[in-house]
Structures are given as structure tokens and as C-alpha cells.
Amino acid sequence: MGKWKGVIVLLIIAALVTWGLLNLSKIMNAVQGKYTAWKTQRQIAALERPYKTDKIGGQTPEETFDMFIEALKKEDIELASKYFVLQKQDEWEKTLGEYKKNNLLANFVLELENTEKTWEKSKKNNENAIEFNSYIEVEKDSVIKFQNQEFPVESGSYLNVTRFEKYPMGVWKISVL
């Protein structure tokens, strides 16, 4: 009977090895799929982390805008750029740095304050995105000089759109200015 136990054990082992070899590709695909899913989840979490932890901004779009203006008045370009959505912060820090270098911050602050006074909420708003519209009247044709370039501006009425997005931490960020 002892010989038969050994034979039965060898047959079971042979059957398991055969089954494993026949199903190896399925097993490898399942393991690979789980590993890929785990790796993708980690990458997504890393990309979402800055959005989920960003606390710089106001509890309303108007509060964020006022905080942005206050930072500009103090010439704190780094802080002012943090009131923008993450993907635009570097671009705005550079732009605001140019404004500061060319002594244009005070004029920019005045323009922003005047724009805010005439804001009208857009009808396209939802709980995570709010847009304000205002119109700027240019009375006569003029030329704006910036970074050694001249930009002609024709007289007329121009729509100015300021858009805000709500971040997961409950703060509002400027997405369009």
C-alpha cells in the first residue's frame, strides 16, 4: 500500500504541474494585470495628491481673488501665483515677475480691482466652477508696451472672463484671468 501512496502523490503532483503549465499564461496575465493596476493606482494617487492637499485659496471665489490682489499689493509674486490652478502657477509666477520687473504691478492691481467691481456671475456656473464676466471699455485706440513689444488695442468694449475652480480641500483657485 505504501507504493501506491507514493504513486498517487506523484500523480497529483504531475497533474498540478501539468495544470500549472497549461494555465501559466493565464496565471501570469492575472499577476501582471494586478501589478499593473496597483502601479497605475499609485501613479494616479501621486498625480492627485497636490490637488487634494492644496489649501491656498479662499472659501469663495471672491475671497481668493481678494487674497490674490493683496499678495500683488505686497509684491509677493510667489504667493500670488499660488492662487491659480496648479498647472498655471509657474506660468503666472513668471508673468507676474515680468510685471514686477517692469513696474506694472500697481496698474495691474488697479485693473483687477476695477474689473471685480463690475463682475456679473455667468449662467454657466456649477458647484465646482464659477465664472465672472465684466466688460472693459477702451475709449480710444492705443498701444500697450510690454517686454519690448507693442500691442495695438482698438477702441471698443471687451469681455473679460475670470473663472475659478474649487479644489477638494474646499478652496477656490483662479483658472482663467
What single string gives the DSSP state of each residue in 5-46? HHHHHHHHHHHHHHHHHHTHHHHHHHHHHHHHHHHHHHHHHH
Q: What is the mean pLDDT of residues 157-177?
A: 91
Decide if pLDDT at 108 tops 80.
yes
pLDDT-derived band at 62 (thresholds 50, 70, 90) equals very high
Mean pLDDT in residue range 34-53: 81
Rounded mean pLDDT of 146-158? 80
CB-CB contact of 67 with 82 (8 Å): no
- Average pLDDT score over residue span 30-37: 80
How many other β-carbons are positioned within 10 Å of the β-carbon of residue 17? Answer: 10
pLDDT at 24: 74
Which of the two residues, 27 and 119, has the higher pLDDT score? Answer: 119
H helix or E strand, kind and range, residue 129: strand 129-138
**Buried/exposed 151-177: b ≥16 CB within 10 Å, e otherwise:** eeeeeeeeebebbbbbbeeebbbbbeb
What is each CA distance from 150 to 34, 57, 144, in whole angstroms?
Answer: 57, 34, 6
pLDDT computed for residue 85 by the predictor: 95
Sequence-ordered list of residues with C-beta below 8 angstroms from that of 170, at least 6 positions apart, any chain: 59
- More confident position, 48 or 69: 69
- Least confident stretch, 50-54, 84-88, 119-123, 144-148: 144-148
Residue 73 backbone zone (phi > 0: left; psi -120 to 50: alpha; other: beta): alpha
In 3D, which of 99, 106, 104 has the Cα closest to residue 74? 106
pLDDT at 71 > cutoff 70: yes
Measured CA to CA, the distance from residue 121 to residue 125 in angstroms comes to: 8
Is 174 in a helix, a strand, or coil?
A: strand
Provide mean pLDDT across the span 38-64. Answer: 85
pLDDT at 1: 59
Domain ranges of the chain: 2-52, 54-176
Bridging pattern class, strands 149-153 and 142-146: antiparallel
The predicted pLDDT at position 147 comes to 67
Q: What pTM does this model have?
A: 0.70
Which range among 22-26, 83-87, 98-102, 116-120 shows the weakest confidence by mean pLDDT? 22-26
Which three three-digit cell numbers place residue 101? Answer: 520687473
pLDDT at 176 over 90: yes
- How confident is the model at residue 146, as a pLDDT? 67
Residues 6+ apart with CB under 8 A from 46: none
Which CATH number is associated with domain 54-176?
3.10.450
